[in-house]
Amino acid sequence: MTVCWIALAALVIYLFWRFPQLRKTWYLPKRHGFVALMYHHVGVLQDPQEEQFPFTVRPEMLERQILFLKANGYYPLSLAELENARKTGKSTVQKPVMLTFDDGYEDNYTALFPLVQKYQIPVLIFLITDRIGTPGYLTWDQILHMQASGLVAFGSHSCSHRRLRSLSDEEIAQEITRSKQILEERLGHAVTAFCYPFGAGGFDKRVRPQVFKAGYLLDFSTKKGVNPWPWKGKSTLRRAFPRGGETLFDYHLQLTRGMSKL
């Protein structure tokens, strides 16, 4: 009997190794809740071997994803709506999702913003304050133009995008509070959302309390999954990660399982 189980396990491992499509999450149970989607670049990369390929969603694919959300009854939340749900512990929104973009790349203005305006869809962009206005990243003019639309909100992704848990307490506080101050000065209002550089590996029990001590209300990680809804802020927010090159079926898996593959 034991031999049978070992043979079966070996067969399953072989099949998973041989056929990558089996590693998709379609056989996991559906999860209901709040899905925060993590994007980075919006643009066109041809070579799947390029380092940024998984982090780059084509504009036409992003448009299809937005249409998929609309067609399937998903509700794209604004940051203000998420804050309100956290504050009150209540929401009547069904199937809430949030589109978040890390690092503040310039293509968020040139390729994402036209779609935001076309579909009037709210998004949240996490900025690395040291990189604003440097080549390839958003400028303050672009940031303020997007903010003026009322559709684009901004959060902090630290000052320098270093792995916070590898820094001293003083350096961590500096990364978290200084970036907040810089953004608040230029944006003209409180900045309430923080996103850890390097996501799941970027924070620990030492880092997270500092985020809330600095006055943030929401912290986003790269831990995969679906969040409870209404969100009460007991842990860091998980995010699903739609990669460049994925299909709409993968997107469906991201939205219903919090991940498209294991």
Q: Which residues sit at the interface with Zn ion, rule CB under 5 A? A: 102-103
Closest CB to Zn ion among residues 91, 103: 103
Query: At closest approach, how far in Å is the CB of 237 from Zn ion?
Result: 15
Pull the structure tokens for residue 183. 């953004």
Query: At closest approach, how far in Å is the CB of 102 from Zn ion?
Result: 4
User: Checking DSSP bridges between strand 96-103 and strand 41-42, what pairing results, if any?
Assistant: unpaired
Closest CB to Zn ion among residues 45, 253: 45
Closest CB to Zn ion among residues 91, 107: 107
Which residues pair with residue 227 across a beta bridge?
34
Question: What one-character DSSP code corresponds to residue 34?
Answer: B
Query: At closest approach, how far in Å is the CB of 30 from Zn ion?
Result: 29
Closest CB to Zn ion among residues 102, 246: 102
With tokens 């009460």, the residue in question is: 232
Query: At closest approach, how far in Å is the CB of 50 from Zn ion?
Result: 17
Query: At closest approach, how far in Å is the CB of 201 from Zn ion?
Result: 12
Q: Which residue is nearest to Zn ion (CB)?
A: 102
Question: What one-character DSSP code corresponds to residue 137?
Answer: B
For residue 108, CA distances in Å to 16, 87, 96, 188, 256 come to 36, 29, 22, 21, 26
The DSSP code sequence of 157-171 is --SS---GGGS-HHH
Closest CB to Zn ion among residues 126, 251: 126
With tokens 């998929």, the residue in question is: 68
Pull the structure tokens for residue 135. 């080549």
Q: How many CB atoms lie within 10 A of CB 27?
A: 7
